[in-house]
Amino acid sequence: MAMRAALVLGRRELFAGVRQLRTSAANAACSTSEGSSVAAMVKAVNESSGSSLLSNLKSAQAKLQPYYPDPAASAGYSFQAKLALFGVISWTLYRLDTQARAHQWIVDLSLDVLQAAWYVSFLSLIPFRSVFVALRGLAPHTSTPLTGLRTAINIKP
């Protein structure tokens, strides 16, 4: 019985020793595989005094941080800026063109045309003047407002 107890005790101590060897080997492999950054940080803390702790930690952190190069300066405007600039220029030229072409664009005030133009403009966010000029152009020049714009009148609810 004493022999059996000694064997069990020996196995426990042997397994504890093997486990200790495994964990120390794993810790060593882990610290070397990670570049021993944690070990270097612990070493920097252990070797420093209270007064130089912060400076040592900052120098260790500067050594451990990876190097990221500065981003290259862009050569021109971004795509979004170019698109916005193109849109502003296009809209300005469009407005100037419509102003120059149609001086008296609201001369023939037909109530049906105005109502249909406001309705279409409100629903589609197209500028009112463009819709009004387009709807006014649907009517023949000799027609009266009641007979010439039946397609525009049918747009109304």
At residue 143 the predicted structure's pLDDT band, cuts being 50, 70 and 90, is very low
Domain boundaries, the chain: 104-144
What is the spatial distance between Cα 130 and Cα 98, in angstroms, rounded to a whole number?
8
H helices of the chain, in order, are 2-33, 37-47, 53-64, 79-101, 111-124, 128-136, 145-148, 150-153
Which of 11-25, 52-66, 78-92, 121-135 is predicted least confidently? Answer: 11-25
| pLDDT confidence of residue 148 | 47
Tell me 36's DSSP state: T
pLDDT tens string 65-111: 777 777 777 778 888 888 999 888 888 888 777 666 655 555 555 66
Six-digit token string for 153 = 């009148």
pLDDT tens string 19-55: 665 566 556 655 455 556 777 777 767 776 666 777 7
Q: Which of 21-30, 106-115, 135-144, 145-154 has the highest mean pLDDT?
A: 106-115
Closest CA to 129 of 147, 107, 145, 150: 107
Tell me, letter by letter, the H, E, C secondary structure of 63-84: HHCCCCCCCCCCCCCCHHHHHH
pTM over 0.75: no
